[in-house]
Structure 1
Amino acid sequence: MPFHTANSDQTRHRKSNLEASRNRNKIWQHIRAYLREKILSAWQNKENTQRDLAKRFKVSLSFVRDLLRRYRETDEIAAKPQGGDRRSKIKGKNEELVKAIVREQNDIYLREIKEKLQETKEIKVSVSSLSRTLKRLDLGRKKKL
């Protein structure tokens, strides 16, 4: 009988949970696509109103409306991709500017860095984006008490 440590069993368990989760997601993707097809087919066959279709398929009225609008405008019923462009606006020279600002005044607030970037470089970034950038650059700030 092979010797197993608790860590290897936990790791194996986590991997199998992750794989099961991915499989469930794939199944749900197919179900959602099938549901979109059925709703569109019922609408094209003039089976019911949008409100009745929503009740029949147990989805919201806005889901049916948005699906049919998307189909009319793009001839597609697939779900739109989620998420947006998550690349940082703070790269290269702007990154160096952030480093210089923090080194010059290491107790500066994130909103103050944001304001300086907007004034000097006309770059609009969120406070959370700045926080992620400082973490990525390993720039800590110390507050003076």
Structure 2
Amino acid sequence: MGKPYSDDLRERVVASMVGGRSCREAGAIFGVAPSTAGNWYRRYQRTTSYAALPMGGDHRSKLTAEVNWIAERLAAVPELTLTDVREGLAGRGTEVSYTSVWRTVKKLGLRLKKEPSTPASKTGPTSR
């Protein structure tokens, strides 16, 4: 993910536009896209600020409150699949993705046995 432009650059671009330059001219002079210069200027007009907004979002897991329940369920019924755990969480009112459940189980240090997709061969390995 990229980083926001510096406040110093933003200030110079906005000051240039306040001084009468167009967004195309300011963008060309300072090496930013005209649309970027225009966005900064419009934001400055609305809020008198050109500073970058915070990047990213809420990265907290929805499953933080459900960790104990997940651990107890997997301890009680070890053959549960992640899909089963996910459905159980949905029944409790917590809608999450399969991947969120997998990450939480991994953080807990719990391992789920994988079921073989086909039965094992009855004859064993063949020798040549």
> Scaled by the length of structure 1, what TM-score is found?
0.63
Between Structure 1 and Structure 2, whose CA radius of gyration is higher?
Answer: 2
Q: Which runs of 5+ in 1 are unaligned?
A: 1-27
Structure 2 residue 104 is matched with structure 1 residue 133: yes
> Scaled by the length of structure 2, what TM-score is found?
0.70
Corresponding residue number in structure 2 for 1:15: none
CA distance in 1 between partners of 2:42 and 2:87 (Å): 41
Q: 1:124 to 1:56 in 2, by over 3 A?
A: farther
Structure 2 residue 69 is matched with structure 1 residue 89: no
- After superposition, give the CA deviation of every residue in 1:69-89 in whole Å (9 maximum; x if it has no partner): 322333211111222222222
Q: 1:39 to 1:88 in 2, by over 3 A?
A: same
Structure 2 residue 54 is matched with structure 1 residue 70: no
Question: Which residue identity is paired with 2:62?
Answer: K
CA RMSD of aligned residues (A): 2.5
Corresponding residue number in structure 2 for 1:23: none
Structure 2 residue 20 is matched with structure 1 residue 53: no
Structure 2 residue 92 is matched with structure 1 residue 121: yes
Structure with higher helix content? 1
Aligned residues: 113
